[in-house]
Amino acid sequence: MFEQAFRNIDDVLRREAGCTTELDYTEQSSWILFLKYLDDLEKKKQIDADLKGEPYTPIFDDAHRWSRWAAPRKADGSFDHDTALTGDDLIAYVDNDLFPYLRGFKQRATGPDTIEYKIGEVFSEIKSKFTSGYNLRDVLEQTDALRFGSQAEQHELSTLYEAKIKKMGNAGRNGGEYYTPRPLIRAMIKVLKPKIGERIYDGAAGSAGFLCEAHEYLRPLAKKAADLDTLQKRTFFGKEKKSLAYVIALMNMILHGVEAPNILHTNTLAENLADIQEKDRYEVILANPPFGGSERAEVKQNFPIQTSETAFLFLQHFIKSLKAGGRAAIVIKNTFLSNTDNAAIALRKELIQSCNLHTVLDCPGGVFQGAGVKTVVLFFEKGAPTRNVWYYQLDPGRNLGKTNPLNDDDMADFVALQASFADSAKSWRVDVETLDAETCDLSVKNPNKAEEAPLRDPKDIIDEMLALDAESAEILRGVRELV
């Protein structure tokens, strides 16, 4: 129903001089979609208030409503081209009037958990990149045709938006930064089995894929009005450092039905681990933290195991942020299992001593399109030490890539066997007592399958070389900061 409108919007953005990448296309369509969503939300709340005979105070004043500047109407309801701003007048209005007004919501809001505060944060982080008011007018008119009213309409819009995020993630080498494959996320959620009333957290939210999929999992289980209110306000929590990812995360969660997402725009790692109290802990943590990056020296001081590897810092944060008995599923590079540096060894020991690392899912190359590194998923529970680790070596039986991505059927065997930690040709168990006491090496070695040396696709080799080059550059930058 709305697919053609999305295509038309992308076509306009491609000819807009101010937008040059898939990231720009997603960012610019996001803020416009956000304002259209808010206009539809205002209309719904006004109708609900009228039916109850209650007053309703709109979020926006008259001068800045969508129906005033983006889509003015005549008395008969038809579009009013005579009063609609366009060209330089539209650009001037958006840059000099609309955006300053929207940024002001952050100061005017009653608190950070309000939609008003989210509006202020979004428009404090981004700016309009349109240079042509005629292109912007075209995008506004295409967006005005979209509707957020029914669940079916919101579901279609969320599906289209997810496709846009996936396309954006795949456009660059580090696609995993924005897009974790949804079949992998859904399998992780099925293993953790979150319940209504539990708080779910992602401290490296990215585009909020984990939180959105967790909402999709829990929504059918909400049978009472109180359950729906819990899902809206007290279930999903996230933090995101990067401005663009933060904006996309908000929009993605809104399209999935969460009106005022509990996502903070902050550097998660800037929080001192010693400051995390019981009230700050969660029952369920799902995340794919960035790897290969580095943080400033003062940030590393927040962690007992100091390292320049961002993912290792995040893993410490997640362990500390779990409630006793809480469950986590964390994506991390497979080299974490066997690295011999002091930080990796210390972190492995901390993990198996303070948590029950019950499952390690070994993912093949190609799961993260464009990322160029192999990953594992660590499944653990807080509060009891690890006795046995169940491994599963994911093998879809084909080379994964953009034209042949991971799907839900690929994950079905893992989910089924994991429920009972069953042995198979792809799965096995390891007693922690058999691990090397010094290195605590957890690396994946399938005893049930003969080692093979398959010929690697040249493209896979090149992708991995590029990823290693990027990782080396990040390390060198970190060393330079210390010199």
- Sequence-ordered strand ranges (E) for 394-473: 427-431
Q: Are residues 34 and 179 in the same domain?
A: no
Task: Tell me which residue of 213, 231, 210, 214 sits closest to 222, measured CA to CA.
Answer: 231
Residue 155 confidence class, pLDDT cut points 50, 70, 90? confident
pLDDT one-digit tens code per residue, 258-309: 888 899 989 999 999 999 999 999 999 999 998 766 677 888 889 999 888 8
- Say if residues 33 and 142 touch (Cβ distance below 8 Å): no
Alpha helices in 301-386 (DSSP H): 310-321, 342-354
In this structure, is the dihedral angle defined by the CA atoms of residues 316, 241, 112 and 220, taken in order, positive or negative?
negative
Q: Are residues 129 and 248 in the same domain?
A: no
Point out the domain boundary residue: 115, 149, 183: 149
Q: Are residues 108 and 212 in the same domain?
A: no
- 74 CB-near residues (< 8 Å, 6+ apart): 80
The least confident of 87-91, 119-123, 161-165, 382-386 is 161-165
The pLDDT, as a whole number, for residue 175 is 41
Q: Are residues 22 and 107 in the same domain?
A: yes
Beta bridge partners of 325: none
One-letter identity of residue 159: T
Token duo for residue 324: 């006793």
Residue with tokens 């660059």: 172
Q: Are residues 271 and 381 in the same domain?
A: yes
pLDDT one-digit tens code per residue, 409-463: 999 999 999 999 999 999 999 999 999 989 999 997 888 876 555 556 676 677 7
The Cα 110–Cα 96 span in angstroms is 25
Q: Are residues 126 and 195 in the same domain?
A: no
Q: Are residues 119 and 264 in the same domain?
A: no
Task: Tell me which residue of 459, 443, 380, 366 sits closest to 410, measured CA to CA.
Answer: 366
Point out the domain boundary residue: 149, 182, 199: 149
In a domain, 392, yes or no: yes
Point out the domain boundary residue: 119, 149, 179: 149
**C-alpha distances in Å from residue 474, one per residue of 218, 382, 393, 436, 477:** 39, 32, 30, 31, 5
Residue with tokens 């006795």: 387
The pLDDT, as a whole number, for residue 122 is 86
DSSP per-residue string spanning 242-288: SHHHHHHHHHHHHHTT-SS-EEEES-GGGS-GGG--GGG-EEEEEE-
Q: Are residues 242 and 123 in the same domain?
A: no
Q: Are residues 475 and 346 in the same domain?
A: yes
For 316-323, what is the mean pLDDT? 97
Q: How many C-beta atoms lie closer than 10 Å to residue 181's C-beta?
A: 24
In a domain, 161, yes or no: no
pLDDT one-digit tens code per residue, 196-237: 999 999 999 988 999 999 999 999 999 899 999 999 999 999
The Cα 478–Cα 165 span in angstroms is 30
How many C-alpha atoms does 154 have within 13 Å on its Cβ side? 19
Q: How many domains does the chain have?
A: 2
In a domain, 364, yes or no: yes
Q: Are residues 97 and 228 in the same domain?
A: no
The pLDDT, as a whole number, for residue 2 is 84
Phi (first) and psi of residue 353, to 5 degrees: -85, -35
The pLDDT, as a whole number, for residue 476 is 65
Strands 427-431 and 322-333: unpaired
The domain containing residue 56 runs over which residues? 3-149
CA angle centred on 202, ends 184 and 412, rounded to 5°: 15
Task: Give the CATH number, domain containing residue 181.
Answer: 3.40.50.150
Mean per-residue pLDDT over the chain, rounded:
88
Q: Are residues 100 and 225 in the same domain?
A: no
* pLDDT of 144 strictly over 70: yes
In a domain, 461, yes or no: yes
Q: Are residues 192 and 333 in the same domain?
A: yes
Classify burial at 424, counting beta carbons within 10 Å of its beta carbon; exposed 0-12, middle 13-18, buried 19 or more: middle
The pLDDT, as a whole number, for residue 114 is 82
The Cα 280–Cα 260 span in angstroms is 19
In a domain, 260, yes or no: yes
Task: Give the CATH number, domain containing residue 112.
Answer: 1.20.1260.30
In a domain, 27, yes or no: yes
Give the H or E element holding residue 383. none
pLDDT one-digit tens code per residue, 32-64: 998 998 898 889 889 999 999 999 999 999 999
In a domain, 274, yes or no: yes
In a domain, 240, yes or no: yes
For 394-423, what is the mean pLDDT? 92
* pLDDT of 469 strictly over 80: no
For 77-89, what is the mean pLDDT? 92
